[in-house]
């Protein structure tokens, strides 16, 4: 159990680290970027216990929010103090626990969105997705239907009730692939 928790905390840390590094250009001020990097270096070395790792991830979460907004706020607008992380809990925003729980609820809801609903592609299809559902559809990647006979293509589009503007016919003599 402790090993799983440690792996989960490490995964969250690495994810947030990736987010901060990719969003650092949001900070227009070079000094703010340097301060954010100092915080990253400081937090990186704070993983001696589970409690410290949890607190480190809480600080990291708020650093991500600050960098995302493009402006560093307390405590991240100053370099990290030279003291152990566990003594710095008072530096987190007063509503930190509430914000973190709200974010966790949002991510849980986000993973269930769209379950049981028909896809946008099927809903917008003139035949209600009947043609597409009869085709083999990959779990990941694009769907491509290629018919070589122009008459067959026209019949399929006519059967689907698709307007002629949706049809694009490439002439083999003019198109080189």
Q: Is the pTM of this model over 0.85?
A: no
Q: Count of domains in the chain?
A: 1
Domain membership of residue 9 (yes or no) is yes
Q: Mean pLDDT across the stretch 148-168?
A: 62
Domain membership of residue 101 (yes or no) is no
Predicted pLDDT of residue 96: 55
Cβ count within 10 A of residue 135:
9
Domain membership of residue 139 (yes or no) is no
Cβ-Cβ contacts under 8 Å for 131 (sequence gap 6 or more): 125, 156, 159, 160
- Evaluate whether 23 touches 72 at the Cβ level (below 8 Å): no
Distance separating alpha carbons of residues 144 and 112, to the nearest angstrom: 28
Domain membership of residue 39 (yes or no) is yes
Share of the chain above pLDDT 90, in %: 6
Distance separating alpha carbons of residues 67 and 120, to the nearest angstrom: 34
Cβ-Cβ contacts under 8 Å for 67 (sequence gap 6 or more): 19, 20, 23, 24, 26, 27, 36
In the structure, what pLDDT confidence band is assigned to residue 111 with cuts at 50, 70 and 90?
A: very low
Predicted pLDDT of residue 97: 55
List the single range of 9-18, 33-42, 130-139 with lowest mean pLDDT.
130-139
- Across the chain, mean pLDDT equals 74
Tokens representing 85 are 């992380």
Predicted pLDDT of residue 136: 65
Percent helix, percent strand, percent coil in the chain, to nearest 5 = 60, 0, 40
Domain membership of residue 92 (yes or no) is no
End-to-end CA distance of the chain: 55
**Phi (first) and psi of residue 95, to 5 degrees:** -100, 30
Residue 34 belongs to domain spanning: 1-84
Domain membership of residue 53 (yes or no) is yes
Q: Is the pLDDT of residue 173 over 80?
A: no
Q: Is the pLDDT of residue 112 over 80?
A: no
Domain membership of residue 64 (yes or no) is yes
Question: pLDDT digit string (tens) for 37-78?
Answer: 999 999 988 888 888 888 889 889 988 988 988 888 888 889
Domain membership of residue 60 (yes or no) is yes
């Amino acid at each position: 159990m402790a090993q799983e928790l440690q792996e989960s905390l490490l995964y969250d840390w690495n994810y947030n680290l990736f987010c901060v590094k990719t969003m650092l250009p949001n900070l227009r001020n070079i000094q703010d970027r340097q301060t954010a990097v100092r915080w990253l270096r400081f937090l990186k070395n704070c993983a001696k216990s589970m409690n410290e790792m949890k607190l480190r991830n809480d600080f990291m979460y708020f650093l991500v929010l600050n960098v995302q907004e493009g402006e560093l706020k307390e405590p991240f607008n100053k370099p990290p103090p030279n003291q152990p992380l566990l003594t710095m809990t008072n530096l987190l925003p007063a509503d930190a626990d509430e914000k973190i729980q709200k974010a966790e609820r949002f991510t849980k809801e986000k993973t269930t969105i769209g379950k049981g609903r028909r896809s946008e592609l099927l809903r917008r299809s003139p035949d209600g997705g009947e043609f597409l559902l009869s085709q083999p559809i990959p779990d990941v990647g694009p769907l491509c239907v290629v018919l070589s006979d122009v008459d067959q293509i026209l019949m399929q589009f006519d059967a689907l009730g698709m307007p002629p503007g949706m049809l694009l016919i490439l002439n083999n003599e003019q198109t080189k692939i």
